[in-house]
Structure 1
Amino acid sequence: MFPVPPSRISLGFSTSTLPDLPQVAVVPLLDKELGVHKITLATTHRLVQPPIPVNDDENQLAWEAVFPSGSINPGNKSAPPGGFGFYLRGPAAFAQALQDSSVNQEVVMGYDVLFQEDFHFQKGGKLPGIYGGVGQSAYGCTGGRQHDRCKCFNLRLMWRDSGVGELYAYVPQDARNSERLKEIPPRSIQHPDYGFSVGRGAWQFEPGRWIRVMERVKLNDVGQENGEIEIFIDGKSVILASGLVLRTEEGREAHVQGLHFQTFFGGHTPDWASPKEQRAWFTNISGAILKPSPAAARPTSSHDEL
């Protein structure tokens, strides 16, 4: 379930029973137990039995995202709402442990996603990812936001045309971050007003099968450039960005706050809209706080040169 050695996990949770570790609590896929809050109005995330069993368990449930024909970014008032959106802290003990901003925090969180077999990706859309920052500044660190960017980060993923994947990052506006993120292959784009497309094409989402998405975030020490973001797809490291500044002098108390669990088509304009009604499902929501790891003991990766 987690793309790290079990010995590195200090505290964790999962809606899957697969981890079978004493430090990882098994919790139900329910809003209250997972600390779901700030739910986007006019959308639903119903618990359903997905069309393809998860972990060969026909009884395991998943959150269903429905994208009506013509649906687009939920901020677009002229199109039907689609997908869903909310923030997720995790169970109480995990959420409380995340509050400690005094440590060099390292967290891994993720989920399994299934796109229906004939899913049409159109130009692109958003997928959940880790968010954080200082208090309430952590919320809404998206949508072209420019103020207080030194106090927040939002690390959702995107699918693009044909299911091409990328990290879609809002990070503190720092020249060092731009320099390092632009180096990530196969293609990275610094958008002037919106998020940073990182590693576009590093993987591809395939409709009709469950895909495991896990994201590891290591916050930097304040005043140092030692933050990291790593994306794992089906257990394989596909993006590793290092030398980052996610916690700034102005945002010294920034910490990971959980998952921004959001999915929709867009973009903002009609050419991004879902071309038909279609669905995706999410389950096996998981998170873990990691113990510090000596540099010499860190796992090697094909991205180490970055």
Structure 2
Amino acid sequence: MLTPEGWSARLMFRRNGGLQSYVYHQNQAGRFGDTTIADGFAFEPNRYHHLVMQVVLNTPASANNGSVLVWVDSKLLIEHNGLRFRSKETPASEIQRLLFNTFHGGSSPDWAPRHADGSYKTDCAFFDNLELTQNF
């Protein structure tokens, strides 16, 4: 169960270059965060893509007016609207930090990248020009 001030919004890579969101909020359906898959999208190898993730917190804390929007190469691919990230409006419920990391997730080798024959493979991603902005 989330705390009244607890929430998170993140992006996850999927198999074959896919992308999805993973959002924890006060009204989520289950124990784990809600996800939206960027249907029909796959990152292209050997090409930079421009990603933008916009997080708008709900205000006031009782409102369901928060959102997460994700654009890739200027195309809106993921939308979460009507979110109630926090149920208590305090400094602790504000955006506190940005954590940037990449990993293959999970708690077992099943999540590791593999070739079509099932053998393990090495994947590589390059990141450039990371920027955090605040718009009013």
Would the TM-score normalized by the shorter structure come out above 0.5?
A: yes
Is 1:276 aligned to 2:103, yes or no? Answer: no
Q: Report what 1:154 is aligned to.
A: 8
Q: CA deviation at 1:156?
A: 1.4
Q: CA deviation at 1:170?
A: 2.0
Report if the CA contact (8 A) 2:39-2:77 is conserved. Answer: no
Report if the CA contact (8 A) 1:166-1:202 is conserved. Answer: no
Q: Report what 1:242 is aligned to.
A: 81
Q: Distance in 1 between matches of 2:17 and 2:100?
A: 19
Q: CA deviation at 1:260?
A: 1.6
Cα distance change, pair 200–239 in 1 and its aligned pair in 2 (3 A): closer
Q: Distance in 2 between matches of 1:171 and 1:203?
A: 25
Is 1:209 aligned to 2:47, yes or no? Answer: yes
Q: Deviations over 1:73-103 (max 9, x none)?
A: xxxxxxxxxxxxxxxxxxxxxxxxxxxxxxx
Cα distance change, pair 259–202 in 1 and its aligned pair in 2 (3 A): farther
Q: Deviations over 1:120-154 (max 9, x none)?
A: xxxxxxxxxxxxxxxxxxxxxxxxxx453x32222
Structure 1 residues not aligned, in runs of 5+: 1-145, 179-191, 292-306
Q: Report what 1:189 is aligned to.
A: none
Q: Distance in 1 between matches of 2:125 and 2:86?
A: 33
Q: Report what 2:24 is aligned to.
A: 170
Is 1:259 aligned to 2:118, yes or no? Answer: no
Q: Distance in 1 between matches of 2:2 and 2:94?
A: 18
Q: Distance in 2 between matches of 1:202 and 1:232?
A: 14
Greater share of strand: 1
Q: Deviations over 1:35-79 (max 9, x none)?
A: xxxxxxxxxxxxxxxxxxxxxxxxxxxxxxxxxxxxxxxxxxxxx
Q: Report what 2:72 is aligned to.
A: 233
Which of 57, 61, 65 is equivalent to 1:219?
Answer: 57
Cα distance change, pair 194–268 in 1 and its aligned pair in 2 (3 A): farther
Q: Distance in 1 between matches of 2:126 and 2:81?
A: 31
Q: Distance in 1 between matches of 2:90 and 2:17?
A: 37
Q: CA deviation at 1:247?
A: 2.2
TM-score w.r.t. the length of structure 2 is 0.81
TM-score w.r.t. the length of structure 1 is 0.39
Cα RMSD after superposing both structures: 2.0
Q: Distance in 2 between matches of 1:269 and 1:194?
A: 18
Q: CA deviation at 1:266?
A: 2.2
Q: Report what 2:132 is aligned to.
A: 287
- Tell me how many residue pairs correspond in the alignment: 128
Q: Deviations over 1:245-300 (max 9, x none)?
A: 01213x53311123220110122221211322232111111122112xxxxxxxxx
> Could you tell me the percent identity over the aligned residues?
30
Cα distance change, pair 154–232 in 1 and its aligned pair in 2 (3 A): same
Q: Distance in 2 between matches of 1:243 and 1:193?
A: 19
Q: Distance in 2 between matches of 1:193 and 1:279?
A: 32
Q: Distance in 1 between matches of 2:86 and 2:98?
A: 17
Runs of 4+ in 1 over 4 A off after TM superposition: none
Q: Distance in 1 between matches of 2:39 and 2:98?
A: 23
Larger radius of gyration: 1
Q: CA deviation at 1:196?
A: 2.3
